[in-house]
Structure 1
Amino acid sequence: MPLLRQPILLLARSSGVKKVVSTLPVTSGIVTSYVPGETTAAAVEATAGLVDDGLHATLDFLGEDTVEQAQADATVAAYVELLRELGRRGLARNAEVSVKLSAIGQALPGVGDKVALENARIICRAARNAGTTVTLDMEDHTTTDRTLAVLRDLRKDFPETGAVLQAYLHRTEADCRALAYEGSRVRLCKGAYNEPEDVAFQDDIDVDRSYVRCLKVLLAGDGYPMIATHDPRMIAIAASLASRFGRARGTYEYQMLYGIRPEEQRRLAAAGETVRVYVPYGHEWYGYLMRRLAERPQNLTFFLRSLVSKK
C-alpha cells in the first residue's frame, strides 16, 4: 500500500484538522468533488443527475462510531426521509441505500448488535416500501463477523439485502464462496481501512490478486456481483471473467465512487453495462474524505496546498 496511506488515515481522527479543512475554499472544493452535500435534498438532486446520465446510485448518509442512541435514531430517520423522497421523485428504481451498522448503533455498549439489527430492519422496510433495497457496508475487520451475522438475520425477512466484502482481508475469498448463492447481492471492493498484516494483505499486488480470485468466485456463482473498482485493469479483468462465465449484462454491475472517473462511468453505461455510483452525503463527511485521500494520495497535493495557503 502507498506509504502515505497510514498517515492520511491517522488524520481522519483529528478534529483540529477537520476544522481547518472545512473552512478552506480550495479544500471545500475537494470535499464537494466527493460529497455532493449535507442534506437529503442535495443527495436526491445528485441522484437525479446521475439517473439522467443513465447511471444508478447507492446513497450513504455518512456517520460512524455512533455511541449515543439519539444519534443512531437520527441516522435512521435520515434514511427513512431519504427513501421517502427517492420514492416521491420516482428515483427509487435506480437508487438504493448503503448503511454502516456503526452509524445505526452497533457500537452502543452491551446492546449494539440488537439495536443495529432493529434499526436496519426499519431502513429495509422503508426501502422495500419505496421499491428499492439496502446494502450493508463493511467496516474494519473487527466488525466483519458481527456484520455478517446481522446480514443473515436481515435476509430472513429482506433477502434482497446486499453485502459488502473487502478483498484485502485474508478471509474474503472464503466469505465470497459462502455468499455466492442465488439471490445474494455482494459488492466486492478492495478495502479502505488501515488493517494489520495478520488479517489483511499489505501490498497492492497481493490485494489485486485477491480481488481477482474473489471476482472469479462471485462471477462463477449464482448471486449478483457488484464490482466496486476504479482500476482499469480490474474492470478489464471483470469484463473478461463475465464473458468466460457466460454472464449476461444485467446479471452483475460495476460500482464507482461519486466524483471518481465520471467519464468511465458514463462510458460503461453507454456500452450497456449497469453502473452504480456510491453517493455519500451528510455532515459527517470528514472520515470518508480522508479515506478517499488515502486511496488516491495524489489528491493530497491539493489538500496540503490548501492548508499552507491559509492566512
Structure 2
Amino acid sequence: MLRQPILLLAKSDAVKKLVSTMPVSSGIVTSHVPGETTESAVEATSRLVDDGLHVTLDFLGEDTLDLAQAEATVAAYKDLLAELAKRGLASKAEVSVKLSAVGQALPDSGEKIALENAREICRAARNAGTTVTLDMEDHTTTDSTLGILRELRKDFPETGAVLQAMLHRTEADCRTLAYEGSRVRLCKGAYHEPESVAFQERLDVDKSYVRCLKVLLAGQGYPMVASHDPRMIQIASSLASRYGRRAGTYEFQMLYGIRPEEQKRLGAAGETMRVYVPYGQEWYGYLMRRMAERPQNLTFFLRSLISKK
C-alpha cells in the first residue's frame, strides 16, 4: 500500500530539499549512499573488497535532458574507472550505467547519443580492466535499452544486461539473453509500472523471478542474482546445484547497506557476492525507490519530518 505514494514522493523537489537537510534523514541517506564524490565511492569499494566482496558502482542520475549533464556523467565514470585502476580495484569492481543519465531521453537523437556515450564508458572500463552493466529503468525504456545493449555487445560483448522480473515480458527476454558470455542481472524491479505490463502482487513477482532464474541458470550465460530475499537466495542456490553450476559461473548481488552481514556470509562461503554501490549528488530518486522496496524505512523518514524544528 505504501509503495505508490513513496514513489510519487520521488518526484517532489520540495520533499527532496526537506529530506536532505534533516539529520535523521541524512542518516538514512548515508546508510544507502556512501557519498557524493569519486573519492567516497572508491573508499567504500576498497572497504568492501577488503571484506572479500565484489562491487558495481552507479554514478547517480537519470532522465537527463541536458547534453552537458550527460557528458559530465561520462566524465565522472571515466574518472571513477581511472581511480579504480590506479588503486588496483578494477578486477573486483565494475560500473553500472543508466542510459537515461547519458542522453537516452534527449529529444531527436537521444538513443544515438546514449549509445556513443555508453561506448565511451565501455572503452574506459575495458582499458581499466573491468566491465559495464547497463541498468534497466522503467518499462518505456526497455526496448531502447536492449537495442543499445545489442549494439554495444558487437564491440564489447562483456557488457552486462539487467532484467526486471516484475515485467510480463521478462521471462522471454531471459530466454533471448541466456547465451554463452552474456552477463544478465535479474532483479525484481523498483519502478511503479502499470498492470498492463507488470505483475502487481508480490507473490506474482516472486513466481516470475523464480521462472526467470530457472531460464538463466539453465542457460549458457552468466546470471547475476540480484535479491535480498532469503527465499530467493536459497532457491537460486538450489537451482545452481540442480543445473551443475560451479561457484564463479554466477553471482549474487545486493545493494549497499542492505543485509551487509549476509553479503559477507555469502562471500566467505565461496560465492561471488557483488555489492551495488551508488554515489553522487542525485541520490534522492534512488533513496525513494529503496524506501518503496523496504517501507519499514519510512518510519525513520516520518519521525524525522515530525521532529524537524
TM-score normalized with structure 1 length: 0.99
1:133 alignment partner AA: T
Q: 2:230 aligns with which of 228, 232, 247?
A: 232
CA distance in 2, matches of 1:263, 1:85: 27
SS of the counterpart of 1:209?
helix
* TM-superposed deviation, 1:179: 0.1
2:48 alignment partner AA: L
State the partner residue of 1:12: 10
State the partner residue of 2:71: 73
1:200 alignment partner AA: A
SS of the counterpart of 2:49?
helix
State the partner residue of 1:282: 280
* TM-superposed deviation, 1:175: 0.1
SS of the counterpart of 2:266?
helix
1:206 alignment partner AA: D
* TM-superposed deviation, 1:224: 0.1
CA distance in 2, matches of 1:6, 1:245: 38
State the partner residue of 1:156: 154
Measured on the aligned residues, the alpha-carbon RMSD in Å equals 0.2
CA distance in 2, matches of 1:270, 1:77: 35
Structure 2: where are the runs of 5+ without partners? none
1:284 alignment partner AA: E
CA distance in 2, matches of 1:208, 1:168: 8
State the partner residue of 2:19: 21
State the partner residue of 1:204: 202
1:21 alignment partner AA: V
CA distance in 2, matches of 1:33, 1:142: 30
* TM-superposed deviation, 1:171: 0.1
**What aligned pairs does 1:141-290 form with structure 2 within 5 A after superposition?**
141-290=139-288
CA distance in 1, matches of 2:230, 2:76: 35
* TM-superposed deviation, 1:41: 0.1
SS of the counterpart of 2:296?
helix
Structure 1: where are the runs of 5+ without partners? none
1:184 alignment partner AA: S
CA distance in 2, matches of 1:310, 1:299: 17
CA distance in 1, matches of 2:105, 2:172: 26
State the partner residue of 2:28: 30
2:94 alignment partner AA: E
1:67 alignment partner AA: L
| Structure 2 residue 129 is matched with structure 1 residue 114 | no
TM-score normalized with structure 2 length: 1.00
State the partner residue of 1:61: 59
- 1:177-207, CA deviations, whole angstroms, 9 ceiling, x for partnerless residues? 0000000000000000000001000000000
SS of the counterpart of 2:133?
strand
- 1:240-293, CA deviations, whole angstroms, 9 ceiling, x for partnerless residues? 000000000000000000000000000001100000000000000000000000
* TM-superposed deviation, 1:15: 0.2
CA distance in 2, matches of 1:65, 1:113: 13
* TM-superposed deviation, 1:104: 0.2
CA distance in 1, matches of 2:15, 2:24: 15
* TM-superposed deviation, 1:39: 0.1
State the partner residue of 1:105: 103
* TM-superposed deviation, 1:236: 0.3
CA distance in 1, matches of 2:99, 2:152: 12
- 1:29-87, CA deviations, whole angstroms, 9 ceiling, x for partnerless residues? 00000000000000000000000000000000000110010000000000000000000
Q: 2:308 aligns with which of 303, 307, 310?
A: 310
1:138 alignment partner AA: M
Question: Aligned residues: percent identity?
Answer: 82
| Matched residue count | 309
SS of the counterpart of 1:93?
coil
CA distance in 2, matches of 1:172, 1:185: 15
